[in-house]
């Protein structure tokens, strides 16, 4: 157990590198911090939008709300309200994706047709699947919807708040992901080898959902999933760090 201190205010997002040796985090203090998990201490930090590192162009809101590594660990994505920016290991922006409404969650996803993509859950009830190279929208998943009372009275809009993905093998790879919306509903989806997506089921938790994780034990019984979706089968210390205001400037991941 380690307690690492550094952010001045709440921590909005944290993601561990695939190597397990470092992590990055973002918070209310509008900083991106790099952590050395081997030593259990902060490695460096940089204010978002300052200097040549982590340049944000004309972004008017610098507080970041989440951060994710890709599977290869050679790039990461930071979520800024209605925009996400993909950076390389030198903290240089590669791709910017913008939405007209707020983005609540992001996740890298290995698409069977388009390869590495980025999922984005938004205020408009949609899950968008983006190209990581140019931000193009490959697909939009519709399933979460506004709630009504007595089939007539509008209650509130629904926001996609969280999702997680996994790949199961059953002769062919079956991509399964789950999404959760602000009204407490959880949906599961299956993506076939041709990229087509089918909603598999839903469950109303009756609670406000803030996060969601797929656990391996929950997908052991693969036969419960409609395998007809398979296309042409057979035809997952308290450290020595301090709260000082001075941090080493981050000149890229290798600076750790």
Apex CA 88: angle with CA 84 and CA 94, to 5°?
50
Q: Mind listing the pLDDT tens digit for each residue in 8-65?
A: 889 999 999 999 999 999 999 888 899 999 888 888 888 886 554 555 555 545 789 9
The pTM assigned to this predicted structure is: 0.76
Superfamily of domain 99-232, CATH level 4: YVTN repeat-like/Quinoprotein amine dehydrogenase (2.130.10.10)
CA atoms within 13 A on the CB side of 7: 22
Per-residue pLDDT, 248: 56
Per-residue pLDDT, 222: 52
Per-residue pLDDT, 181: 86
Domain limits, the chain:
99-232
Q: Mind listing the pLDDT tens digit for each residue in 109-137?
A: 989 899 999 999 888 888 899 999 999 99
The Cα 11–Cα 102 span in angstroms is 19
User: Average pLDDT for residues 185-202, to the nearest whole number?
Assistant: 88
Whole-number average pLDDT of the chain: 78
């Amino acid at each position: 157990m380690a307690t690492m201190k550094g952010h001045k205010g709440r921590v909005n997002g944290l993601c561990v590198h695939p190597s397990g040796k470092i992590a990055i985090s973002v918070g209310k203090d509008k900083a991106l911090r790099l952590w050395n998990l081997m030593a259990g201490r902060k490695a460096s930090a940089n204010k978002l939008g300052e200097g040549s590192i982590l340049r944000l162009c004309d972004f008017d809101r610098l507080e970041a709300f989440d951060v994710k590594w890709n599977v290869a660990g050679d790039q990461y994505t930071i979520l800024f309200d209605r925009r996400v920016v993909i950076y390389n290991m030198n903290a240089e922006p590669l791709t910017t994706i913008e939405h007209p409404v707020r983005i609540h969650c992001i996740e890298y996803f290995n698409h069977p047709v388009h390869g590495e993509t980025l999922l984005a859950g938004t205020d408009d009830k949609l899950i968008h699947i983006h190209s990581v190279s140019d931000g193009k929208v490959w697909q939009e998943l519709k399933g979460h919807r506004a709630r009504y009372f007595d089939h007539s009275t509008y209650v509130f809009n629904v926001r996609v708040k969280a999702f997680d993905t996994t790949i199961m093998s059953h002769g062919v790879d079956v991509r399964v992901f789950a999404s959760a919306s602000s009204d407490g509903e959880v949906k599961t989806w299956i993506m076939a080898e041709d990229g087509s997506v089918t909603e598999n089921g839903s469950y109303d938790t009756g609670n406000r959902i803030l996060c969601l994780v797929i656990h391996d034990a929950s997908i052991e019984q693969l036969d419960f999933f409609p395998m007809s979706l398979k296309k042409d089968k057979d035809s997952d210390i308290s450290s020595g760090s301090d709260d000082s205001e001075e941090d080493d400037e981050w000149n890229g991941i290798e600076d750790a």
